[in-house]
């Protein structure tokens, strides 16, 4: 009888801990802004978020134009893009955070939030990208980042909706459709 009680108590405690922990989301992470200030992603709860690992010297760098365009189109409806510089592919983001900021503003007039440079692949991968690429937790969208300008679309609950590989431009019909569908989830 005692063994049964202990087993039941253990199960109850385990279930309570699981419920209290809740489902992990992007809102559990904090990055630093391009200016070095802490930027908890939880400040974007209730919005549709697109996370993009960016680079200044990449063949996909012109996607900044389309990223800024869709940001301007949807930002008043609860959409935000977060640019996350990374130097993991072909050393295509070698600059300092200040150099990256200046480049993005002067060449592409970027107004969406930009974060400090991080690693999105390898042993020093930032915790946010450990979460985003976790194939076990997210079988449909997980997997290693293959190149710059991989885009993760995240719902207002902080859960990953879909992933677009670098060759899919931010203004592609499938991206617009996914953003529109996600924005429809917002309560206005």
Does 128 fall in a domain?
A: yes
Instruction: Summarize pLDDT for 86-140 with one digit per residue, the tens.
Output: 999 999 999 999 999 999 999 999 999 999 999 999 999 999 999 999 999 899 9
Does 159 fall in a domain?
A: yes
Dig out the tokens for 4 from the structure. Answer: 């049964």
Across the range 161-183, mean pLDDT stands at 97
Does 97 fall in a domain?
A: yes
Distance in Å from the first CA to the final CA of the chain = 54
From the candidates 11, 15, 58, 104, which is the catalytic residue? 58
Domains identified in the chain, total number:
1
pLDDT band at 186 (very low <50, low <70, confident <90, very high): confident
CATH of residue 47 = 3.40.30.10
pTM exceeding 0.75: yes
Rounded-to-integer distance, Cα 82 and Cα 50, Å: 6
State yes or no: pLDDT of 143 exceeds 50: yes
Residue 60 contacts residue 166 (beta carbons within 8 Å): yes
Does 127 fall in a domain?
A: yes
Rounded-to-integer distance, Cα 150 and Cα 121, Å: 12
Does 149 fall in a domain?
A: yes
Does 14 fall in a domain?
A: no
Instruction: Summarize pLDDT for 9-66 with one digit per residue, the tens.
Output: 444 444 444 344 458 999 999 999 999 999 999 999 999 999 999 999 999 999 999 9
Does 168 fall in a domain?
A: yes
Q: Is 11 a catalytic residue?
A: no
Residue 73 structural domain: 24-183
């Amino acid at each position: 009888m005692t063994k049964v009680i202990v087993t039941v108590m253990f199960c109850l405690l385990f279930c309570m801990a699981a419920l209290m922990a809740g489902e992990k989301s992007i809102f559990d992470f904090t990055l630093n802004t391009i200016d070095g200030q802490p930027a908890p992603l939880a400040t974007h709860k209730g919005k549709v978020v697109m996370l993009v690992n960016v680079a200044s010297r990449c063949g996909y760098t012109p996607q900044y134009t389309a990223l800024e365009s869709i940001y301007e189109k949807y930002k008043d409806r609860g959409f935000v893009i977060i640019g996350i510089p990374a130097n993991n592919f072909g050393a295509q983001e070698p600059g300092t955070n200040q150099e990256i900021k200046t480049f993005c503003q002067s060449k592409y007039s970027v107004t969406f939030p930009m974060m400090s440079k991080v690693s999105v692949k390898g042993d020093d991968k930032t915790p946010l990208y450990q979460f985003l690429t976790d194939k076990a937790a997210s079988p449909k969208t997980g997997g290693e980042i293959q190149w710059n300008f991989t885009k993760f679309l995240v719902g207002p609950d902080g859960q990953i909706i879909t992933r677009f590989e670098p060759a899919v431009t931010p203004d592609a019909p499938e991206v617009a459709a996914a953003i529109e569908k996600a924005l429809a989830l917002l309560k206005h």
